[in-house]
């Protein structure tokens, strides 16, 4: 099975774009879009039958299918629209006390940083960001930096499974063990986890894990989940309280008012899509392609990726040649330049005083996509 350009037709990409940003919003296979369309049709032809009879059954089936993929107990999985909503649910459900701290890292996703500020801040709890160096010095360094930030006042440790801009895969097994040894609850922000790295929710032992299906699991946008360990299920609520209040995690999350449920209902089709190809085969392709692409770009640009291959999943941030100030504004200008002049869709971030291009590798990509980026030039600012 040869991936690459031959697989682009399974998706609905516009012609001519080197699409190197699966990470931000995923890409949905046609077969999954068809499943969504099928469910939308069911919703429209008889809305009452859809919401009162079809949805409860199909949602339970979708949850069972997702739980099997994540090796989780379905009763611990609540469907949410996105990882941000899942993180908000956890943060809103914790009983904060004045003087508590939430420890996270300098790689935290900004929306989640804001959610911590909002929910914990309301009760007088504060945010502490452990400064995890980037380029990364490796797992031991990360664990040591996070450990140094923990104190008896730490009420929650929140770590990314894979960080957004730096694409660093955090050693969550070690970080969970660290938190558990100190009796500190831990929330893993796995927005990029499922589909990119093995996620075994029974084995990893986090208190809560939030994950997107619409990034690396080929799910429709708006399909995500929050998982809670058994001891936290009764106290985890969606930020929107509705009919299911007090009736258990799944009932509370299944109904937060009338909304389009089709992204979750189409999840089994997305899971079948990757199962038929084989998650191991997808991973092997994406990792090998990423390694080749990074080496090619590093050679052309004379710079380096921020993390060693052992700390990468299907994404890597590569430092851009210095052509001006490393500001967020310059990052946007560089992105727009690459898109407008070369048809390259790649995110550019300012981090730690440098600009980084974060490339993604997915089954529809091939080395030519990255050659375009390697050969691009840009004006000095
Ligand atoms: C680490 C991390 N957390 C949270 C999010 C937010 O995901 P969503 O927009 O699906 O809520 C992202 C998105 O890229 C992310 O990378």
Output phi, psi for 190, to 5 deg.
Answer: -100, 40
Q: Which residues of 316-350 are buried (b: 16+ CB within 10 A; e: fewer)?
A: bbbbbeeeeebeeebbebbbebbeeebebbbbbbb
- Determine the distance separating the centroid of ligand 1 and the alpha carbon of 253, expressed in angstroms: 19
Determine whether the shortest distance from the Cβ of 88 to ligand 1 is under 6 A: no
Whether 196 and 216 have beta carbons less than 8 Å apart is answered as yes
C-beta 112 within 6 A of ligand 1: yes
Judge if 5-29+278-375 and 32-273 fold alike in CATH terms. no
Domain boundaries, the chain: 5-29+278-375, 32-273
CB 113 within 8 A of CB 87: no
Report the nearest atom of ligand 1 relative to the CA of 83. 11
**Contacts for 52 with CB less than 8 Å, ≥ 6 apart:** none
* pLDDT attached to residue 1: 64
**CA of 191 relative to ligand 1 center, distance in Å:** 5
N-terminal to C-terminal alpha carbon distance within the chain = 44
Question: What's the pLDDT tens digit per position in 154-205?
Answer: 999 999 999 999 999 999 999 999 999 999 999 999 999 999 999 999 999 9
Top CATH class, 32-273:
alpha beta
Ligand 1 atom nearest residue 162's Cα:
1
Q: How far is the CA of 45 from the centre of ligand 1 (A)?
A: 34
The 10s digit of each residue's pLDDT in 288-320 is 999 999 999 999 999 999 999 999 999 999 999
CATH of 5-29+278-375, one of 3.90.1150.10, 3.30.300.30, 3.30.70.260, 3.90.950.20: 3.90.1150.10
Mean pLDDT of the 253-280 span: 98
Please check whether residue 3 is in contact with residue 285, taking contact to mean a CB–CB distance below 8 angstroms: yes
Q: Which atom of ligand 1 is nearest to the CA of 160?
A: 1
What is d(CA 283, CA 190) in angstroms, rounded to the nearest whole number?
17
Q: Facing residues of 360 across strands? A: 315
């Amino acid at each position: 099975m040869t991936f690459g350009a031959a697989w682009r037709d399974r998706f609905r990409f516009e012609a001519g774009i080197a699409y190197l940003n699966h990470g931000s919003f995923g890409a949905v296979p046609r077969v999954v879009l068809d499943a969504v369309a099928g469910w939308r049709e069911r919703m429209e032809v008889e809305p009452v039958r859809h919401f009162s009879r079809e949805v409860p059954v199909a949602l339970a089936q979708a949850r069972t299918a997702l739980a099997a993929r994540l090796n989780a107990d379905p009763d611990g999985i609540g469907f949410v629209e996105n990882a941000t909503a899942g993180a908000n649910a956890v943060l809103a459900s914790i009983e904060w006390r004045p003087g508590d701290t939430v420890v996270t890292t300098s790689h935290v996703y900004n929306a989640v940083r804001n959610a911590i500020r909002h929910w914990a801040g309301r009760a007088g709890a504060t945010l502490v960001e452990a400064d995890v160096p980037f380029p990364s010095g490796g797992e031991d360094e990360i664990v040591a930096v996070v450990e140094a930030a923990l104190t008896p006042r730490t009420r929650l440790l929140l770590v990314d499974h894979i960080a957004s801009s730096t694409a660093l895969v955090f050693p969550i097994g070690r970080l969970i063990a660290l938190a558990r040894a100190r009796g500190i609850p831990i929330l893993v922000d796995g927005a990029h986890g499922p589909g990119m790295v093995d996620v075994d929710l029974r084995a990893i032992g986090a208190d809560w894990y939030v994950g997107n299906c619409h990034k690396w699991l080929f799910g429709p946008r708006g399909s995500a989940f929050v998982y809670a360990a058994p001891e936290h299920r009764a106290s985890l609520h969606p930020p929107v309280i509705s009919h299911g209040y007090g009736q258990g995690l799944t009932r509370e999350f299944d109904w937060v008012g009338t909304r389009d449920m089709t992204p979750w209902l189409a999840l089994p089709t997305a899971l079948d899509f990757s199962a038929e190809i084989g998650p191991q085969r997808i991973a092997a392709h994406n990792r090998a392609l990423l390694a080749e692409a990074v080496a090619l770009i590093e050679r052309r640009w004379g710079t380096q990726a921020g993390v060693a291959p052992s700390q990468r999943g299907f994404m890597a941030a590569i430092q851009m040649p210095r052509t001006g100030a490393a500001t967020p504004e310059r990052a946007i200008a560089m992105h727009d330049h690459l898109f407008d002049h070369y048809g390259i869709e790649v995110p550019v971030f300012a981090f730690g005083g440098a600009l980084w291009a974060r490339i993604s590798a997915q089954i529809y990509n091939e080395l030519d996509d990255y050659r375009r980026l390697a050969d691009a030039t840009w004006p000095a600012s």
